[in-house]
Structure 1
């Protein structure tokens, strides 16, 4: 069996990661290869000059009434997995950035780029440039146009014979663009394509093309990255009450479920080699590491950011202590409303995050947050750090900073409003750090309340916020008053296994066979 994975990100390659999809594309092909499944992975070439390239073929791609030339390169081949990139000036035009922020034209630049990428992938598969293919596995909206061309273009004969699987990693990002009258539109990319608009239009904006919906409706199997998320997306979202479900695509998900095309399979985590990591740092050593990162971030900007200045002052202040104040509560991840909506809810003239800091302080503890993202959330988190001496907010990202926080922390905070699967909770648990998490998506599927961590729920944003604080108090109470029980919860968390080997077997059984 030859499976071809098509995605926008791949953490096996340098500078080819933004989010969790890159981890999946990095790991699952090798787990499949262990089960005698040959895998090829194809992503765009964003201009990673460190790649060791082997020319495979030039690809003639009809696009926007021109015949573009893209190039297929093999950049690695090992353990039954072949890694490819497709190069074209459009993919590397933005200085190596994988995604662009278009402001008032959402997805416009990226949609152009990924439409050309999908057209190139369709051509190379049609002409069997990497050999015959049994399963085509597309990931998120960036790869969805392959399914559209496969279904509606009469030019693709061999492509139509390939069974196609589509994985939804995050339903909140659907890549919606107009059908026509725009440079970044379906008819601009493929002006001669005849299509059934009813199957690929957006429900809310029928004059727009929805790549996510198109792929869900056109492929043979649809895969959600956890069983609970698979259930949630079949229900309508209610953002006012804090429920994030189908995001307008719930009817399509229900239809896929009725026809047996829908499957929920959890993502996995790598465990081998983690035990050999170095000993956890002391407070002083972590502060030294944070200071080094802060200096780098400061030097990269023309003006000094308040977040970096206040964080540096906090590091100096904390370094005067001889040991970490315990409990140490941690959080690692991008700052988006998905992750932080509950934390920015108002409470007593401040934010829920202030209440979290105050509660942790009652138990003599500190809160360390690592992450960047939404500028407004960065601003709010900086204000919270300024108001609370037991909070250190590191506005940026560093692999080493995050890895050590997983090892150092006593409790990992993950109050996501929705979480298709989540990897941070798995990394924290792998390090023996229990999580306090919202009972949604993959968090519900990976955390066992009071056994490997702590879960909270609620029917409204206010209830969820209150239950978050109640859950935090419960966890901190056990940490202080029942230390042996807390050690058992830590040990239980550490021994949990969500291995890619077991998940690869489910891919084969539920998606491929």
Structure 2
């Protein structure tokens, strides 16, 4: 099975969140399972690692394109270099333009390099245009929604000429969305099959509450049997308390005590249990709910927060950090994240929606019990006999769940039993990777000789 993944980021070369983590782990496991895997991503100026330049040429309608290659874990990584990506950082205000340019370059580059996949797998809106062009070539395609909230929209009259798509695409049945080009919709409509990163999220996005205006398209896909959820896995080598270089290594809860002691010393915390948070500071993640609940949380917990994002939420946490039981580290710090996962007793994720989430899996692997809202992948991954779940996206519901967690913490045998069950869960990529390969086999076996008009 020859597979090409297309995504805007891939760990460890480029990463802003869970998408990069998935592309850093899934392809390697698929390669171990016998697939021939290529990952295509932009060649960012700040790319971690130095690709070997394979090719540099001028493509019609695109201009000068560079292609770099790296081989790692049995996977071929191709990085497409365009002048629009020669700037610091990954994402910018003109990303629809930048990823339209990237999207138009992918298939010509694959053709130049003689790469013809059995299945092309696009990830999120940044790969939506690639899937649309692959659809027109009658390739077998899969498309994964990692977060439906971000859709890649731009005024259609201005952007249509950028895409290289035929006029049939610029209708409400295809990529037009209330007068805009919508690259997420292009991927949804163009793909043979759409997946999301958890079964629960696949159900949720067919509703008005979670469908982000695309629920009509998604209901149709669901009714046609072309929408499903495959739960993300976790890179269990990267996240392993027995071998983690950033924490005192441990294999059981006796060893975890040293990590908790170290975190307590690092932030000068008192003897109250520690509630950890590692998150983007955003409304989606419910960080405003956490802040509103802090007056009650600090009665029982030390709260340690690592994250960056919304300036208002950042400022609120900076203010709260003056409190003896609240610690806040701004930005993302990989080593500190590991220390929080290992050292905290509980871990809060009050998300308004959560397509899958990795933090709750990491926390349980490190013996830290998650306190989560019942949404998306949090429902699929946090058993009620391990973590603490709450239904409403309110500070009161979060505080109540944390009170329940604290009461359980006082019953050490009960807490220990929950923690040990969490550490024993298998969140490896082996099962999900196999599910994707089985999906690819079905898609590759389909007859693409006829038109897929109206999908």
Say which SS state the counterpart of residue 40 (structure 1) adopts: strand
Q: Superposition RMSD on alpha carbons, in Å?
A: 2.2
Aligned pairs for 1:94-113 (under 5 A) are: 94-95=87-88, 97-100=89-92, 102=93, 109-113=94-98
Say which SS state the counterpart of residue 199 (structure 1) adopts: coil
Say which SS state the counterpart of residue 96 (structure 2) adopts: helix
Please say if 1:457 is aligned against 2:386: no
TM-score (norm 1): 0.79
Aligned partner of 1:404 in structure 2 is: 339
Give the distance between the partners of 1:193 and 1:473, measured in 2 at CA. 57
Which residues of structure 1 form unaligned runs of 5+?
Answer: 103-108, 153-159, 238-244, 290-314, 346-350
Aligned partner of 2:8 in structure 1 is: 8
Aligned pairs for 1:379-398 (under 5 A) are: 379-386=315-322, 388-398=323-333
Aligned pairs for 1:68-467 (under 5 A) are: 68-75=63-70, 77-92=71-86, 94-95=87-88, 97-100=89-92, 102=93, 109-125=94-110, 127=111, 129-151=113-135, 160-180=137-157, 182=158, 185-190=159-164, 195-203=169-177, 205=178, 207-237=179-209, 245-272=210-237, 274=240, 275-277=242-244, 278-279=247-248, 285-286=262-263, 315=267, 318=268, 324-340=270-286, 343=289, 351-357=292-298, 361=299, 363=300, 365-386=301-322, 388-449=323-384, 451-458=385-392, 461=393, 464-467=394-397
Cα deviation code 1:312-361 (max 9, x no counterpart): xxx5xx2xx7xx5231111111101111255168xxxxx2233322xxx2
Contact residue 43 and residue 68 of structure 2 kept, 8 A: no
- Note closer, same or farther for the CA distance 1:186–1:34 as it changes in structure 2 (3 Å cut): same
- Note closer, same or farther for the CA distance 1:234–1:421 as it changes in structure 2 (3 Å cut): same
- Note closer, same or farther for the CA distance 1:270–1:283 as it changes in structure 2 (3 Å cut): closer
Aligned partner of 2:252 in structure 1 is: none
Contact residue 367 and residue 390 of structure 1 kept, 8 A: yes
Cα deviation code 1:391-418 (max 9, x no counterpart): 1111222111110111111110111010
Give the distance between the partners of 2:66 and 2:173, measured in 1 at CA. 32
Give the distance between the partners of 1:410 and 1:440, measured in 2 at CA. 22
In the TM superposition, what is the alpha-carbon distance from 1:135 to its structure 2 partner? 0.6
Please say if 1:29 is aligned against 2:27: yes
Give the distance between the partners of 2:226 and 2:374, measured in 1 at CA. 26
Which residues of structure 2 form unaligned runs of 5+?
Answer: 249-255, 443-455
TM-score (norm 2): 0.89
In the TM superposition, what is the alpha-carbon distance from 1:196 to its structure 2 partner? 4.0
The total of aligned residue pairs comes to 430
Give the distance between the partners of 1:164 and 1:506, measured in 2 at CA. 15
Contact residue 263 and residue 510 of structure 1 kept, 8 A: no
Cα deviation code 1:209-236 (max 9, x no counterpart): 1111111111101010000000000100
